[in-house]
Amino acid sequence: MDFDITSIENSGYARWYITDNVFVTFNDTLISMWIIGAVLIALAIVVRVKIKKFKDVPETKFQNIMEAIVEIFDNYVVSILTKKYRYVGAWFFGVFMFFLLSNLIGVAGLRNPTADLAVTFSMGLTTVVLMQYIGFRYNGIEHVKDWMRPIFIFAPLNIISDLSRSISLGMRLFVNILSGLILMALIYFLLPPLLSIAVPGVLALYFEVFIGVLQAFIFITVSMFFLMMKAPAEE
């Protein structure tokens, strides 16, 4: 049983050899996602423990910050989806935090999971699944009839149109993050040694931080608008 970590520097993955012919592969995207997952779980545990000590009137900065974050995000979800669908806000907040950390983890020198199409496409697909859930829950059979409008022969095209939204969401985020990584790599390569530290560092704040936060925000916003298309209006 052996663990080969030399390949991760050359080709982006590491292998744990159980036998000579049996091994498990860990790529850099997977490792980054494990780290992000561990951070999110740790944050959730800390917040959960702290919540038990929360008062009706906030007495600590931590409670003030947490309540402000929840209120701001809740108001934003309600402004798009109305109070009827407020419960999906928890899901979108989780997605936002995942993408936020995925976009920012590059600052620590790790690979951005959002620069992997499999990750962004999978998360886009979850939005499509949520759209169908909302459609069936509140519209029932009418949701199926929507696929057959204006006439039934358009059903395959309407279904493909729904599924293509996962590609649209995934590609938008993937291309923006990957293009930033490629641009930063070119800058590192082209600049002379003395400038290859200061200049890329400033640009990293833009590409990794500003663009990272913006793209996470855009993803959940577009997802909520797609969801609103399937959700009946609040009565």
- Residue 42 in this model has a pLDDT that exceeds 90: yes
pLDDT category of residue 9 using cuts at 50, 70 and 90? very low
Q: What is the pLDDT of residue 193?
A: 65
User: Residue ranges per domain, the chain?
Assistant: 54-230
Chain centre to alpha carbon of residue 80:
19
Asked if the model's pLDDT at residue 222 lies above 70, the reply is yes
Measured CA to CA, the distance from residue 28 to residue 139 in angstroms comes to: 42
Compute the distance between CA of residue 169 and CA of residue 103 in angstroms, rounded to an integer.
Answer: 15
Q: What is the pLDDT of residue 11?
A: 46
Distance from C-alpha of 170 to C-alpha of 125, rounded to nearest angstrom: 8
For residue 158, the one-letter residue type is N
Tell me what pLDDT residue 49 has. 86
- Using alpha carbons, select from 90, 113, 114 the residue that is nearest to residue 171: 114
Q: Counting beta carbons within 10 angstroms of the beta carbon of residue 21, is it exposed (0 to 12), middle (13 to 18) or buried (19 or more)?
A: exposed
Q: Residue 92, exposed/middle/buried by CB under 10 A (0-12, 13-18, 19+)?
A: buried
Q: What is the mean pLDDT of the chain?
A: 78
Query: pLDDT tens digits for 69-128?
Result: 888 888 888 888 888 888 888 888 888 888 888 878 877 777 888 888 888 888 888 888
**What are the helix (H) ranges across 26-114?**
28-51, 61-81, 89-104
Q: Cα separations (Å) of 171 from 26, 66, 219?
A: 24, 32, 11
Q: CA 125: distance to chain centroid?
A: 11
- pLDDT value of position 62: 82
pLDDT above 60: residue 12: no
Query: Distance between CA 42 and CA 54 in Å, rounded?
Result: 19
